[in-house]
Amino acid sequence: MKQLEALTQQARETAEQPIQWHSKGTAINEMPLSDDENEVARVMQICNACRYCEGFCAVFPAMTRRLEFGKADINYLANLCHNCGACLHACQYAPPHEFGVNVPQAMAKVRVQTYTDYAWPAALGKLYKHNGLTLSLAAAGALALFLVLTISITGGLLHEPLAGDFYAIFPHNTLALMFGLVFVFAIVALGIGVTRFWRDVSPGTASGAAVAQATHDALRLKYLDGGHGKGCNNADDAFTLARRRFHHLTFYGFMLCFAATCVATIYHYVFGWEAPYPYFSLPVILGTLGGIGLLIGPAGLLWLNIKRHPLQGDAAQRPMDRGFIALLFLVSLTGLLLLGLRETSVMGLMLAIHLGTVMALFLTLPYGKFAHGIYRCASLLKSAIEKRQPDSLKLGSD
């Protein structure tokens, strides 16, 4: 028996020799990896030797085109990951296995770092760190601003009914200027961030087909379908299409509201038709439909987020996720309430609250969960481009 023990001990020591994981150094990859990036590199090295999850999403096929994982590769793969959870529940190496492979969690941790690293101006990247606080302060500040403005303009929070005329309280040009400036800033900030990201992941040139595929994959949330069409994981190893559907309601609700604003802007400046618009006018119909989507979608996403398996994703990002979801819900709720109450004496109050939440949303667009859509789309486009390039690896007959 002594001999057996000695030999098992020896085997164990061989097994426990410190293992050096691959790392790579080219271009942007000269920069050292952060701990979270190192974890993705480690996990990808294991996944690349297994590959069972290749059918679930775009991350694993992209992984198989690489033997080593540098900083840019890791940031690209992390943002390509939709946190669908399929690979976690299917993983033979997931905890409690000693390899402790948790792809969705490792990717999520790097994603928030991508948003932070590429944020413009760089100093504001810190806002991702305590994002729940960021969102709360933005909401409180913006609300206070509009309440104070309302009081100073109308002399109080209540007023005689104004037949839904917002501009009696806030002149149209004031609103257009305030929101226009903040919105343009958000677009510029996100644009600069994603452009830098795009350059670092060295994507190559986008063909029409690649753009079409990326657009399709983004708009249909292809990678929340699980690869088999039954959906992604949420609370456990069962598949559900709920997340995909609630996200569609949220995204398309948001887009309808945005379209409502655009149509109203055209009405105002091109045709000189001023708000308030009747209930069955195009801007109000678009806004109402979008608003309903933006109530149900975020409510469903919040419910799914609360039910989510604790290992799926990064628990530290819940305040960011839920804060953003809550803000979207509030924007929609206050907008619909404003519509319903616009003939009454609380219109001014509702308007102030609604504008406050919208302003909070706009202010935090470049420094909150909204960024995921931008970086995700960039990564989907890179994936679509890369798929069309020849694979440099020749894995022979095996």
Partner 1 sequence: MIDVLVIGGGNAALCAALMAREAGASVLLLEAAPKEWRGGNSQHTRNLRCMHDAPQDVLVDAYPEEEYWQDLLKVTGGITNEHLARLVIRESSTCRDWMRKHGVNFQPPLSGALHVARTNAFFMGGGKALVNAYYRSAEALGVQIRYEAPVDAIELDNGRFVAARIGDERITARSCVLAAGGFESNREWLREAWGQNERGEWPADNFLIRGTRFNMGVLLKFMIDAGADTIGDPSQSHCVAIDARAPLYDGGICTRIDCVSLGVVVNREAKRFYDEGEDFWPKRYAIWGRLTAMQPGQIAYSIIDAKAIGRFMPPVFPGVKADTLPELARKLGLDEAQFMRTLTDYNTACRVGTFDHTKLDDCHTEGVEPIKTHWARPIDTAPFYGYALRPGITFTYLGLKVDDTAAVRFNDEPSDNLFVAGEMMAGNVLGKGYTAGVGMSIGTAFGRIAGTRAAASALAQRAQGAQREAA
Smallest gap from Cβ 308 to partner 1, in A, equals: 17
Smallest gap from Cβ 40 to partner 1, in A, equals: 15
Residue 61 or residue 253: which is nearer to partner 1 going by CB? 61
Residue 20 or residue 152: which is nearer to partner 1 going by CB? 20
Query: Rounded to 5 degrees, what angle do the CA atoms 193, 186, 256 make?
Result: 115
Smallest gap from Cβ 47 to partner 1, in A, equals: 8
Residue 394 identity (one-letter amino acid) = K
Pair 232, 84: CB distance under 8 Å? yes
Smallest gap from Cβ 4 to partner 1, in A, equals: 6
Residue 100 or residue 141: which is nearer to partner 1 going by CB? 100
- Round to the nearest angstrom and report the end-to-end CA distance of the chain: 41
Smallest gap from Cβ 394 to partner 1, in A, equals: 5
Which residues, in sequence order, are bridge partners of residue 239?
Answer: 233
Smallest gap from Cβ 8 to partner 1, in A, equals: 6
Residue 97 or residue 126: which is nearer to partner 1 going by CB? 97
Give contact residues for partner 1 (rule: CB under 8 A).
Answer: 3-4, 7-8, 11-12, 14-15, 17, 19-22, 45-46, 48-56, 61, 64, 67, 86-87, 89-93, 95-99, 227-228, 230, 237-238, 392-398
Residue 64 or residue 281: which is nearer to partner 1 going by CB? 64
Question: Which tokens hold the place of 182?
Answer: 């903040």
Residue 150 or residue 233: which is nearer to partner 1 going by CB? 233
Return the SS3 of 240. Answer: strand
Sign (positive or negative) of CA dihedral 252, 254, 256, 259: negative
The verdict on whether omega for the bond into residue 96 sits within 30 degrees of 0, i.e. cis, is: yes
Pair 45, 20: CB distance under 8 Å? no
Smallest gap from Cβ 257 to partner 1, in A, equals: 37
Residue 49 or residue 123: which is nearer to partner 1 going by CB? 49
Q: What is the DSSP string of 42-107?
A: HHHHHHHTT-TTTTT-SHHHHHTT-SS--HHHHHHHHHH-----HHHHT-TTSTTSTT---HHHHH
State the CB neighbour count (10 A cutoff) for residue 184: 11
Half-sphere exposure of 123 (CA within 13 A, CB side): 0
Which residue has 């109402």 as its token pair?
Answer: 288
